[in-house]
Structure 1
Amino acid sequence: METTQKSQPTNRFTNWLKTSITSRLVMIGFLTLVLLVPLTFIQNLISERSYRQDEVVNEINQQWGNEVFIYGPILKVPYKTYSEKIVTDKKTKQVFTETNVVINYAYFFPESLNITSNINPETKQRGIYKTAVYNSEIKLNGKFTKPDFSDIEVAESDIIWEKSKIIIQTSNVKGVNKSNLTLNNNTYELSSKYLNQTNLAYNQVAMHTLETKSLTKHPINFNAPTSYAINFNIKGSKQIRFIPTGRQTEARITSNWKTANFIGEFLPYNGDKTSDSGFDAKWKILDLNRPFSQQHFNSLPNLTAFAFGVNFMIPVDEYQKSERSAKYGFLVIGLTFLFFFLIQTLSKINIHPFQYLMIGLALTMFYTLLISISEHSSFLKAYLIAGTSVITLITLYSKTILKTLKFPLFIGISLTTLYAFIFVIIQLENYALLVGSIGLFLILTTVMFISRKIDWNNG
């Protein structure tokens, strides 16, 4: 009698677990939360692989040469300023005025700046990661006019013209293979002087200064226009940018690279800039188009925000797309479990929690297949292979659980539709929220329509 009394509550609890709708929902909710653990690990794996890619690309770029960013040419002119100081002689107690001479510098941008650059990119690869590097031939020419010191009222005799220099700032001196500068047909050498910038903002780059020696050897008549020509041969990576320092800046950049992206504050004006053979981009920028003047006193301003140029980086968004798809993992697992719950409830077919767990693990395997295959192929091919594999596996597995053919077919079609829906959302940018909201609304409507036949009182 005691054995019978003890077994009756146990049998009731077991029957409740098998037949109760509430118990099934609790079990499905618990398993869904458990499967968030492997989903989190997968998202961390994607982030780790993406970080590794950036690390390898940066290593290649540093060895070859970082981005080319040119700021100049700039005429640097020293001038004298005077400060008076009242000094008292300690012995005689006599008070007198002491005049100190301070050397300051003025920076003048050219009247015209013409930029011509031909870029020859190539692909460098290490393991499964690759990046774009390039050789560039850059020519800068134009003219300087006589510097105007009227804004600070400096006497002509206090301007040290013979100590003037031409300076150019660039982010990449490592990649410079050749450089020369001529002023009025006189050749000058450029020497490197590192400008230490320790507190750089996120989007700023450390700039090196290239400068000539003082123009004493070949004095320049600043009362007449001074023509200049600068030739560079620089190895670089990622992108190439210029700052429009000329009162009128004209630039032309050509290359056989077909996936270039034009960046910066100013875009090319020619509509036929891209073709099947590469690009031929042209810019024309006037001083009225930029919010800075032609002369600066005491210090050279940071004008990084007003640069323009071309980005040569290879568009690699497989990791970003994989990360976005993994964020929908909770939705995929929840909806798939919901499909099986509706089938189980409507057909009275018993599905064990272990079988739910196997289905959930198969769904998480989709993301590991996706990230591993996409590293060696395109995202579309990886998505098709991973999706087809997982859908086929779950459909065949559900055939052994549900016994009939119509329910596994429903599962297969539902998963195919769900994965196709998520793929469309990933590809969209501007309409992703709209399409996603409409899709979820339709899914909710379908579930509400199907679940109307369930007797929820059998809880």
Structure 2
Amino acid sequence: METSQNDIPFYQTTTAKIIMVGLLALFLLIPLSYVQSLITERADRKKEVVQEVTKTWGSDVHIYGPTLRIPYHVYSQTTTLNPATKKEEISQTKSVAYAYFFPEKVDFKTQIKKDNSLKRGLYNVVVFSTDIQAKGTFSTPNFKKLQIDEANVLWNQATILVKTTNLKSSKSNLQLKVNQSDLNFESKENSDKYFDDLESDIFDLSESKTVSFQFQMKYNGSNSVKFVPVGKNTTVSIDSDWQNPSFEGNFSASTTSKSIDENGFHADWSISQVNRPFAQEHAEFLPQLNDYLFGVKLIETVDQYQQNERASKYGFLMIGLTFLIFFLIQTTSKISIHIFQYGMIGLALVLFYTLLISITEHSSFSIAYGIATVAVIGMLFFYTLSILKSKKFSMFIALALAALYAFIYVIIQLENYALLVGSIGLFVILGIVMYFSRKIDWNTKEI
């Protein structure tokens, strides 16, 4: 005989069961949050390892230059009062200042090759080696724009200056060809906290005021390769075997020649003087131009910890939908499932994420996801078989969980369409639940 909902204790009613299952689902957010904290901790540890390795191997490779530096005499007058004659005396002092000129044309050709050989513990640190070849010309320096008298210019003491980061990881001999002469670069003390200075040997511009130059720089580096567009015409060409570049800076690469495929990428930039808001000539000091750096950042689109973090964010959804499936089976089949059994099922679903992150650190995310999915579904299949005593229901639950895990895996792999696919998928799931629960009489059905 069917018992009325009013004739049974409240704790045995459908409403009470729903409340208890809901509270249990909320309680399982606590271990799920610990799992997410574990993922964050492991990701932070990887960042620390990457920083340690790149500190010794090499960091960002940024180039500011080359710049022609020419000294000139500056005269200043000082007026003093002679105590003996009580008359003012004027004395003249001479000092040296510097004028800086950017090139008429500079062309950078860059090869970037990734290096997967570095490993620290569990972590493979992806770094690269780069070969930068530069050539170009300086036109006759225009001192009139700087209001400097050419009679005071020390033409025979010109040098070429290149500002660069990551100098400690340079692997080239730092030689420079100026016109027909071979010169050397030397590192200099510099107050600039961002760039290091390389200055060439002194050369003479007394006879020929124009300069052609070329040099090569090789670095071990990581993260990015960027340039400041110092030339009236600056061209940059970058080739690499890296599949995931991010082009950054105030200047975009040419859309006609840019290409990205599974073998790497190629990109070209062409920037003229009218594209950037700074002059070709500067007196006394060089301006800070860090904001005008452009080039490429070599990125990992989604690393293993980002994928694990994204997967864990769907943990509550997995728990809620799995509990809903069990609750509907319990409601429609009159099979009693104890709240403790719901707890065991929920903990198995949480354990999926600890399995996932631990296996991922020794394998790929896809393999780890497959192993963790099979392990958890297998455990729940045999557990539900023992408590439901029905192979049909156990197979249904296993297939439903497999579909949910597959759905979440697809969302994790997507980038641009993750929100769209996720929204459509949840809409379809809600429709399925509404369809199968449409005939349940919630008012009189006893569980």
Q: Classify the TM-score, shorter chain.
A: 0.7 to 0.9
State the partner residue of 1:232.
217
Query: Which region of structure 1 is more displaced relative to structure 2, 73-82 or 96-105?
Result: 96-105
Flag the 1:374–1:189 CA change in 2: closer, same or farther, 3 A: same
Match of residue 123, structure 1, among 103, 116, 120? 116
Q: How many Å separate the matches in 2 of 1:58 and 1:381?
A: 27
Q: TM-score, normalised by structure 2?
A: 0.86
Q: How many Å separate the matches in 2 of 1:110 and 1:346?
A: 81
State the partner residue of 1:408.
394
**1:114 and 2:114 aligned:** no
Contact 2:170 2:220 in 1 (8 A): yes
Flag the 1:333–1:297 CA change in 2: closer, same or farther, 3 A: farther
Query: Which region of structure 1 is more displaced relative to structure 2, 316-325 or 230-239?
Result: 230-239
Q: Name the SS for the 1:189 alignment partner.
A: strand
Q: How many Å separate the matches in 2 of 1:13 and 1:80?
A: 106
Flag the 1:435–1:262 CA change in 2: closer, same or farther, 3 A: closer
Q: Name the SS for the 1:174 alignment partner.
A: helix
Q: Give the AA of the match of 1:77.
A: I
Q: TM-score, normalised by structure 1?
A: 0.84
Q: How many Å separate the matches in 1 of 2:189 and 2:195?
A: 8
Flag the 1:88–1:451 CA change in 2: closer, same or farther, 3 A: farther
CA shift, 1:253, in A, is 3.4
Deviations 1:37-84 (A, max 9, x none): 111111111111112222222222222222322111112234456677
**1:179 and 2:193 aligned:** no
Q: How many Å separate the matches in 2 of 1:84 and 1:195?
A: 29
**1:36 and 2:22 aligned:** no
In structure 2, runs of 5+ residues without a counterpart are: 1-5
Q: How many Å separate the matches in 1 of 2:262 and 2:436?
A: 53
Q: How many Å separate the matches in 2 of 1:269 and 1:249?
A: 17
Deviations 1:287-319 (A, max 9, x none): 233343323344433333433434455555111
Query: Which region of structure 1 is more displaced relative to structure 2, 75-84 or 390-399?
Result: 75-84
State the partner residue of 2:280.
294
State the partner residue of 1:212.
200
CA shift, 1:86, in A, is 7.2
Q: Give the AA of the match of 1:147.
A: P
CA shift, 1:280, in A, is 5.0
CA shift, 1:285, in A, is 2.8
Output aligned runs, 1:66-85, within 5 Å. 66-79=59-72
CA shift, 1:271, in A, is 3.6
Output aligned runs, 1:4-403, within 5 Å. 15-17=9-11, 19-79=12-72, 104-124=97-117, 125-177=119-171, 178-196=173-191, 206-213=194-201, 215=202, 218-221=203-206, 224-255=209-240, 257-259=241-243, 261=245, 263-264=247-248, 265-268=251-254, 271=257, 273=259, 279=265, 281-312=267-298, 317-403=303-389
Flag the 1:137–1:47 CA change in 2: closer, same or farther, 3 A: same
Flag the 1:87–1:325 CA change in 2: closer, same or farther, 3 A: farther
Q: How many Å separate the matches in 2 of 1:311 and 1:90?
A: 67
CA shift, 1:351, in A, is 0.9
Query: Which region of structure 1 is more displaced relative to structure 2, 266-275 or 405-414?
Result: 266-275
Q: How many Å separate the matches in 2 of 1:75 and 1:222?
A: 16
Contact 1:80 1:102 in 2 (8 A): yes
Flag the 1:180–1:62 CA change in 2: closer, same or farther, 3 A: same
Contact 2:107 2:235 in 1 (8 A): yes
CA shift, 1:360, in A, is 0.4
Deviations 1:186-211 (A, max 9, x none): 2332221343456xxxxxxx321111
Contact 1:119 1:253 in 2 (8 A): yes
Contact 1:77 1:164 in 2 (8 A): yes
Flag the 1:33–1:99 CA change in 2: closer, same or farther, 3 A: farther
Flag the 1:89–1:154 CA change in 2: closer, same or farther, 3 A: same
Q: How many Å separate the matches in 2 of 1:106 and 1:308?
A: 25
CA shift, 1:391, in A, is 1.8
Q: How many Å separate the matches in 1 of 2:437 and 2:96?
A: 85
Deviations 1:197-226 (A, max 9, x none): 56xxxxxxx32111135x3xx311376321
CA shift, 1:348, in A, is 2.1
Q: How many Å separate the matches in 1 of 2:49 and 2:26?
A: 35
CA shift, 1:140, in A, is 1.4
Aligned CA RMSD, in angstroms, stands at: 3.1
The alignment of Structure 1 onto Structure 2 pairs a total of residues equal to 436
Contact 1:268 1:282 in 2 (8 A): yes
Query: Which region of structure 1 is more displaced relative to structure 2, 189-198 or 409-418?
Result: 189-198
State the partner residue of 1:440.
426
Contact 2:243 2:262 in 1 (8 A): no
Flag the 1:335–1:83 CA change in 2: closer, same or farther, 3 A: farther
Query: Which region of structure 1 is more displaced relative to structure 2, 354-363 or 444-453?
Result: 444-453
CA shift, 1:370, in A, is 1.4
Flag the 1:14–1:120 CA change in 2: closer, same or farther, 3 A: same
CA shift, 1:382, in A, is 1.8
Q: Give the AA of the match of 2:390.
A: T
Q: How many Å separate the matches in 2 of 1:299 and 1:63?
A: 31
Q: How many Å separate the matches in 1 of 2:406 and 2:317?
A: 14
State the partner residue of 2:3.
none
Contact 1:146 1:222 in 2 (8 A): no
Q: How many Å separate the matches in 1 of 2:156 and 2:93?
A: 21
Q: How many Å separate the matches in 2 of 1:428 and 1:41?
A: 26
**1:419 and 2:392 aligned:** no
Q: How many Å separate the matches in 1 of 2:23 and 2:260?
A: 55
**Structure 1 vs Structure 2: percent identity of aligned residues?**
43
